[in-house]
Amino acid sequence: MIGKLDLYRVFSVVAKNNSFSSAAKDLYMTQPAVSQAMMQLENELGTRLFNRTPKGVTLTTEGSLLFEYTNSALGLLDAGEEKLLEFKNLTTGQLKIGVGDTISRFFLMPYLEAFHTMYPNIKLQMLNGTTSEICNFIKSGEVDIGFCNFPIEDSTLQLTVCTDIQDIFVCGEKYKTLSSKSLNYEDLLKFPLIFLEKKSNSRKYVEDYLFARGVHIEPEFELGSHDLVLEFARSNLGIACVTKEFSKDYLQRGLLYELTLRESIPTRSIGMCYLKSVPLSRAAMKFVEIIESKHFNTRRTIKRA
């Protein structure tokens, strides 16, 4: 039994050719099969669609009306299939990424550039936020993939470590003499402290680590961006807690000095996350492949129960 949609496709070709035999050639069917299909459609609709003559067929009034709608509907279906093919071939589409300014600038930028070079017609949309905000963006469907400061405890997310980073303390010229000493965490409390704001995952990680060792910090400055933390330290406003990998330019140019601690803060990670329960779009899958191909030696997938 030929399906209803197939019947309409045959009907459309017959109507355009005004001939069962010509339509059969276009459809790679036999003429009797085309004739039988049109009889089936007419029976199902309870309406005669063609005037049959020795020279071919012409549409009845009802057939002409149906042809207008059929031709339009099939055209939309064909356009839809073409659009799906474009998405499949990544010649159109959109990739939405949630990421903070600092991770975007110091980690993600080369991968964004590589993806754009490979798939220039895919629109990139970046949504800025803290780690907790980015996790919410993922769960609400506002972004496809997020890049965050780990650790994250969330069983709904697929978590992949991309690279490890180190939290350090730095100072400007005013406190330079401290950089030649070996310091305890308690020694830092004697000076003005500069930290990221409390909602930052980076701040929470360091603060929790220090608190577990009996050190309670009360920063004089709590700032919204890593760049501001660096600038406040460079301006000699205090001792700043920063990410070493994101501060190399300041350290290499001698604008800031790294302090030596008797006990280093354990490294943490930057990672990629997305929902386990929702399949990634083709564009998102390709971006994940680019990230993973660059880190096949170091990336670690965190499995959750």
For strands 145-149 and 268-275, give the pairing.
Answer: antiparallel
For residues 59-74, give the mean pLDDT.
92
* pLDDT band of 72, cuts 50, 70, 90: confident
Mean pLDDT of the chain: 90
Residue 226 one-letter amino acid: H
DSSP character for 175?
G
For residue 274, what is the enclosing H or E element? strand 268-275
Tokens representing residue 6 in the block: 């197939």
304 or 291, which is more confident: 291
Type of residue numbered 105: R
Q: What is the pTM of this model?
A: 0.70
Q: What is the CA radius of gyration of the chain?
A: 32
Pair of tokens at residue 273? 């996350």
Q: Are strands 157-165 and 300-302 parallel, antiparallel or unpaired?
A: antiparallel
pLDDT at 2 over 60: no
Q: In the prediction, which pLDDT does 305 show?
A: 37
**Per-residue pLDDT at 296:** 40
pLDDT at position 82: 73
| Dist CA 17 CA 40 (whole Å) | 19
Q: What is the mean pLDDT of residues 39-54?
A: 93
- The C-alpha atoms of residue 53 and residue 60 are separated, in whole angstroms, by 12
If you average pLDDT over each of 49-53, 78-82, 170-174, 285-289, which comes out highest?
170-174
End-to-end, the C-alpha distance of the chain in Å comes to 48
Joined together, the tokens standing for residue 255 give 């604008």
Q: Is 229 in contact with 241 (CB distance < 8 Å)?
A: yes
Q: What is the average pLDDT across 103-123?
A: 93
User: Residue 126's closest CA among 156, 94, 160, 89?
Assistant: 94
